[in-house]
Amino acid sequence: MATSSFETLLVTTEGAIATVTINREAARNALSSKVLAELAACAAELEVSPEIRVVVVTGAGDKAFVAGADIAEMAELSSPAAAAFAEMGGSVGEAIEHSTRPWIAMVQGFALGGGCELAMACDFIYASERAKFGQPEVTLGVIPGFGGTQRLARRVGVAKAKELCMTGDIIDAAEALRLGLCDAVVPHDELRAKVMAVAGRIAKNAPLAVAEVKRLVHRGQSATLEHALALEQAAFGLLFSTADQREGMAAFLSKPRREPAFKGR
């Protein structure tokens, strides 16, 4: 297991899986400008690391994934400074969403405000039965600023997103699962095993193909079906120029059948 060093993040790797832990347990892992800057830098580093195929993001301790943006830092911001802070948070979400690596949010506790927004930027959200989700910004006189009004609507529907963002209600993991805000809920002590099992299955697959699945699903949401299908067909053909396609099909056809050894080429 290797470790990269940041002031507010703990980054560990196990094989092809990187785990990024927001390491501010005393502040319930709140997203300060320092955390956001380091998350952006970390995402950029992981994106060019040939060894990393899946990224897991979580928070330190058992109580909070991320309890929100850092209110102590935000309280005295000017309007332009607040807009810049929102842009920082938005850029982190975009980096995760546009990454060629799948990102999995491992939510073991509170995922509120910026924490819920960080989780929603990921490809999957797996939650402990103890997890809580919400966008309570209106109770502070503001609105979600890191993509919450938009990604929440895409996950749970327009009316429910408006309800959650307008009331500031906090919901439990079971309700989040029912609404589609998270993708699985497991007993607290089994969360890491669940996340790593899924990450491991993805990491075994052809990374170029996995990246194309992510890109096409995201692109297709804002395209007509006809255009999205054309993108898929072009990507399907392009992958036949890769060494991974040749390896995957050769492994399938070998007798006895063997496990493919994908190289991301």
Ranges for all domains in the chain classified under CATH 1.10.12.10: 207-253
Residue 117 annotated among the catalytic residues of the structure: yes
| Active-site choice (51, 97, 117, 226) | 117
| Active-site choice (14, 94, 137, 212) | 137
Place of tokens 């890191």: 146
**Model confidence pLDDT, tens digit, residues 243-260:** 999 999 999 999 999 999
**Model confidence pLDDT, tens digit, residues 66-122:** 999 999 999 999 999 999 999 999 999 999 999 999 999 999 999 999 999 999 999
Ranges for all domains in the chain classified under CATH 3.90.226.10: 2-203
Give the helix ranges, DSSP H, for 75-157.
Answer: 79-98, 114-121, 148-156
In this prediction the pTM is 0.94
Please give the CATH superfamily to which domain 2-203 belongs.
2-enoyl-CoA Hydratase; Chain A, domain 1 (3.90.226.10)
Tokens representing residue 160 in the block: 């429910």
Please give the CATH superfamily to which domain 207-253 belongs.
Lyase 2-enoyl-coa Hydratase, Chain  A, domain 2 (1.10.12.10)
Q: Please report which confidence band the pLDDT of residue 2 belongs to, taking 50, 70 and 90 as the band edges.
A: very low
